[in-house]
Amino acid sequence: MRVGIGYDSHRFAEGEGRKLILGGVEIPSPRGLVGHSDADAVAHALTDAVLGAAGLGDIGQMFPPTDPRWRDADSLDLLKRAYLRVVEAGLTFVSADITVILEQPRLARYLDDMRENLAGALVSGYSTVSVKAKTNEGMGWIGRGEGVAVLAVALLEQVRA
Ligand code: MG
């Protein structure tokens, strides 16, 4: 068994015009997150956890933000592409646990769809991916609504050498 950790953060855009996408779900919000891709910090943190467990570096190395191919990329697609590399390395996904930290909007009603999307990208069932949401109790940059932070851990199993 191999465990990996992932972290990501993205800033909210100043004005309107960016969608808020988390875990592949478009969430109604007056503001979206800034990023080269779709800025899906949940998918990014999980991708880093999965790559980390496999010892395959990180999302920035695999999909450099300087590469125009990944501009406005669907981050679930990046997760799928990363997982293909993991499978090629002889590993298979077992489970992941994710905590999203932001003040607004509240995510409770979107968590199940996020789980479905993320597990699907890893060719796994809903129950293998847990997604939890918390506020930062009004403290610091998250508390001021400047952005979102996401923590993820992933477990993989080596099934081939
Ligand atoms: Mg990111």
Tens of pLDDT, residues 27-52:
999 999 999 899 999 999 999 999 99
Q: What is the pLDDT of residue 4?
A: 98
Spatial CB neighbours of 63, under 8 Å, sequence gap ≥ 6 = 37, 69, 70, 73, 78, 81
Tell me the average pLDDT of the chain: 96
User: pLDDT exceeding 70 applies to what percent of the chain?
Assistant: 100
Ligand 1 centroid to Cα of residue 82, in Å, is 14
Spatial CB neighbours of 150, under 8 Å, sequence gap ≥ 6 = 6, 7, 8, 9, 41, 42, 44, 45, 98, 99, 100, 101
Ligand 1 centroid to Cα of residue 128, in Å, is 22
Residue 115 DSSP label? H
| Residues paired with residue 133 on neighbouring β-strands, in sequence order | 100
Give the predicted TM-score (pTM) of the model.
0.97
User: pLDDT exceeding 90 applies to what percent of the chain?
Assistant: 89
Ligand 1 centroid to Cα of residue 9, in Å, is 6
Which residues are close to ligand 1, an ion, with C-beta < 5 A? Answer: 8, 44
**Each residue's pLDDT tens digit, 87-114:** 999 999 999 999 999 999 999 999 999 9
Q: What is the pLDDT of residue 144?
A: 97
Ligand 1 centroid to Cα of residue 92, in Å, is 23
Amino acid of residue 124: S
Q: Say how far apart CA 160 and CA 87 lie, in whole Å.
A: 9
Task: Give me the half-sphere count of Cα atoms (radius 13 Å) on the Cβ side of residue 129.
Answer: 28
- Given a cut of 90, whether residue 137 has pLDDT beyond it is yes
Q: What is the pLDDT of residue 115?
A: 98
Ligand 1 centroid to Cα of residue 57, in Å, is 14
